[in-house]
Structure 1
Amino acid sequence: MSEPRTTIGILVGGGPAPGINSVISAATIRSIMGGCKVLGIQDGFKWLMIGDASKTKPLSIAEVSRIHFRGGSYLGTSRANPTKKPSDLDIVFATLQQLGVSRLITIGGDDTAFSALKLDQQAAGRLLVVHVPKTIDNDLDLPYGIPTFGFQTARHVGVELVKNLMVDAMTTSRWYFVVAMGRKAGHLALGIGKAAGATLTVIPEEFSKRPIRLATLVDTLVGAIIKRRSMGRNDGVAVLAEGLAEYLSPEDFGGLEHVERDDHGHVRLSEVALGDVIKRAVEQALKEFGITTTVVTKEIGYELRCADPIPFDMEYTRDMGYCAAQFLLDGGSAAMVSIQNGRFVPIPFESILDPLTGRTRVRMVDVTSESYQIARGYMIRLSADDFERPEEMARHAALIKMTPETFRARFEYLVTSEHGGLATRPRGAYP
């Protein structure tokens, strides 16, 4: 009598990201070729947490061999959090045992990674767990320069949207404030803004003082609009990272107590009208300076999350799915998948924890990097040069009927190191 085959479970947590189906497909194919059965678990931890073993389906090679072309998640997803209570983790583990799952692949962002870590600890060696890092926010703690899967596709689609808005802005002489997804970090906003050549991009990492004052954001944008006008242009596109909302001073933002939070305690930023709040404040400030302009807000994020993956993410995620399955087949556990210099490198769960918070570390944009300084240099926003060149400062000041001294008193604080405004525009930068 032959021994029962090992069953590998696959589940997806958190928000969608392009490439999920590629991971599912590659992991399934490799697992089956390795002699295992594969069970797709629907909607992340949602049903496992209540002991419902019915929301699963066996996966076959024929079933998944072509799903890597499509966006979304073949297994669905949810933000259900099994780490709130130890009893929830007990139920999840018991349900997996009931299903015969002895090895588990989780696909998700930092919250799902934390859930995988806690489940691994709860199982104490009775369940092998590997996590595949996924998020369009690009904020999981992978080595510098290695993207989370889905980010490149989201940036690609976002650039197309911003490119069209830039043409519309120039055609109609208006400004767009584009709020790009990114719960804490500004990677996606910066990636879109830099690649598209948007007028400027504003991310939370550039502000060393916390909380960020709304007046500082407003002055940053007003200063950019003034500078742009002094260059003969009445249009522009500013890309804003949605994570700015989490760092804004509650007294300026009216508080976030009324905003719903998800199962992991995060503010649902989609319900925070960041663009509208900033737009109204900027329009009021411009009115006081005698400037009339049309400002339109646009939020992008949901348009990016379920896009069909570009070839980069298709190839990248097929590698990750294969490596996740192979890691489990080799008896590995308690690690996150990474591909470094073309090779699989498991990142142990314990190394992704922030010792201060006890949560998974979040990778922020390195504003000291040359990559960021290049991005800043090409933005149209007030820089140190504007205050070091009297003729430029006088031109900006005259536009809003100020003296150069008054203009300096109002705006020069934006270019101090305290506010991340040290970059100057390289020669040849486009207007």
Structure 2
Amino acid sequence: MPKTIKKIGVLTSGGDAPGMNAAVRSVVRTCAYHNVECVAVYRGYEGLMQGDFKPMTARSVKDIINRGGTILKSARSMEFRTVEGRKLAYQQVTKAGIDALVLIGGDGTFTGGMIFNQEFDFPVIGIPGTIDNDIFGTSHTLGFDTALNTVVEAIDKIRDTASSHNRLFFIEVMGRDAGHIALNVGVGAGAEEILIPEEDMGLDRLVESLRRSRQSGKTSSIVIVAEGDKIGKSVFELKDYVDENMEGYDVRVSVLGHMQRGGAPSCFDRVLASRMGVKAVESLLAGKTNYMVGLINNEMELTPLDSAIKGKSKINLELLRVSEIMAT
């Protein structure tokens, strides 16, 4: 028999992502709807070990659906990776009467939760929150859509100056292990080339592609580079190589950095967060544990945390082909 859930804790961990606050709001209000107590855990697993808890009611989360970042703060905890750290966390949740946890974060967050569940048979459900969209078991992670809109808006502005000065811009976007952001914004912003970790284009092929673009009449170009792209050691090395091997372009680099993680969440991310929060709480109440909530074919589905962590999100091959055609 699954144990009765009377009090649920919610935390955010790892890198922040737009939509996390909307997910916290959904968890708290779903708990209130089902007459279950809800407790906020501040500073992720660090706060879990230190008992940094605060009771939350439906009114506690007013006016946060539109806010970026996370009101619960986030921290990466080395101590929680130890047996002693997790024992301390278990003592704190037991003392506070917390029966289950909703974990909002990425694969590192889920790994910690899965181990915690295995060691103490403690119910956990994960909600994927990362702009990289690199988690298996969901078509969209929280923050991905917002990040795309933020990046496209920035690229549109950069294109204005690229066109005005006949410049070639290398624009680096986030995506250490996956090129979802780069591929989508590259198509959406009309980039001439898109460099992602999944496709090794090669420096010579890149230069040849840029030459073809020049010969076709293009006087400026935008190249989107995922930070995990393997062609060069850095986007600045790419710039230097093109400078040395191609005349006629004034080559510049723009690294968008952490601005991609900030800002108010898009409507899509707010709705997705609301759906995921409801599914997470109701899954715990139904006795489900050690799962991640995900969006699959526009339905809320559960994926085992182990699969979400070990699985690999796949790049959209159709979109890759579209990008090649659009660069003609």
TM-score range (shorter-chain normalised) is over 0.9
* Corresponding residue for residue 419 of structure 1: none
Q: Does 1:350 align with 2:300?
A: no
Q: 1:62 aligns with which of 55, 59, 64?
A: 59
Alpha-carbon distance in structure 1 between the residues aligned to 2:226 and 2:214:
24
Query: Secondary structure of the residue that 2:81 maps to in structure 1?
Result: coil
Which amino acid is 2:33 matched to?
M
Q: CA RMSD in A?
A: 2.0
| Cα offsets for 1:304-329 (capped at 9, x unmatched) | 21211111111111010111111112
Aligned residues: 325
Tell whether the 8 Å contact from 1:5 to 1:35 is kept in structure 2 after alignment.
no
Query: Secondary structure of the residue that 1:47 maps to in structure 2?
Result: helix
1:10 shift after superposition: 0.7
Query: Secondary structure of the residue that 1:92 maps to in structure 2?
Result: helix
Which amino acid is 1:24 matched to?
V
Which amino acid is 2:208 matched to?
G
Q: Which residues in structure 2 correspond to 1:19-418 (within 5 Å)? A: 19-48=19-48, 51-53=49-51, 55-81=52-78, 84-124=81-121, 127-143=122-138, 146-207=139-200, 217-244=202-229, 247=230, 253=233, 274-286=234-246, 291-353=247-309, 360-366=310-316, 369-379=317-327
Alpha-carbon distance in structure 2 between the residues aligned to 1:172 and 1:198:
17
Alpha-carbon distance in structure 2 between the residues aligned to 1:82 and 1:339:
32
Change (3 A) 1:5 1:237: closer
1:72 shift after superposition: 0.9
Which amino acid is 2:173 matched to?
A
Q: Percent identity?
A: 27
Structure 1, unaligned runs of 5 or more: 208-215, 254-273, 354-359, 380-424, 426-431
Alpha-carbon distance in structure 1 between the residues aligned to 2:202 and 2:76:
31
Tell whether the 8 Å contact from 2:173 to 2:257 is kept in structure 1 after alignment.
yes
Which amino acid is 2:268 matched to?
F
Comparing both chains, which one has the higher relative contact order based on Cα–Cα distances under 8 Å and sequence gaps of 6 or more?
Answer: 2
Alpha-carbon distance in structure 1 between the residues aligned to 2:146 and 2:159:
20
Query: Secondary structure of the residue that 1:26 maps to in structure 2?
Result: helix
* Corresponding residue for residue 13 of structure 1: 13
Change (3 A) 1:92 1:148: same
Tell whether the 8 Å contact from 2:137 to 2:296 is kept in structure 1 after alignment.
no
Alpha-carbon distance in structure 2 between the residues aligned to 1:92 and 1:67:
27
Which amino acid is 1:22 matched to?
A
Alpha-carbon distance in structure 1 between the residues aligned to 2:55 and 2:38:
6
1:100 shift after superposition: 1.9
Query: Secondary structure of the residue that 2:104 maps to in structure 1?
Result: strand
Change (3 A) 1:83 1:5: closer
Change (3 A) 1:42 1:83: closer
Tell whether the 8 Å contact from 1:31 to 1:329 is kept in structure 2 after alignment.
no
Taking structure 1 as the reference length, what is the TM-score of the superposition? 0.71
| Cα offsets for 1:21-80 (capped at 9, x unmatched) | 1100011001122122211111111233xx411x22221211203211111101011222
Query: Secondary structure of the residue that 2:50 maps to in structure 1?
Result: coil
Alpha-carbon distance in structure 1 between the residues aligned to 2:289 and 2:225:
39
1:275 shift after superposition: 1.9
1:132 shift after superposition: 0.2
Tell whether the 8 Å contact from 1:155 to 1:188 is kept in structure 2 after alignment.
yes
Tell whether the 8 Å contact from 1:139 to 1:362 is kept in structure 2 after alignment.
yes
Which amino acid is 1:275 matched to?
V
Tell whether the 8 Å contact from 2:47 to 2:53 is kept in structure 1 after alignment.
no
Alpha-carbon distance in structure 2 between the residues aligned to 1:180 and 1:220:
21
Greater Rg over alpha carbons, structure = 1
1:129 shift after superposition: 0.4
| Cα offsets for 1:203-240 (capped at 9, x unmatched) | 11112xxxxxxxx6432332233122212223111000
Query: Secondary structure of the residue that 2:45 maps to in structure 1?
Result: coil
1:117 shift after superposition: 1.1
Query: Secondary structure of the residue that 1:350 maps to in structure 2?
Result: helix
Structure 2, unaligned runs of 5 or more: none
Alpha-carbon distance in structure 2 between the residues aligned to 1:305 and 1:158:
10
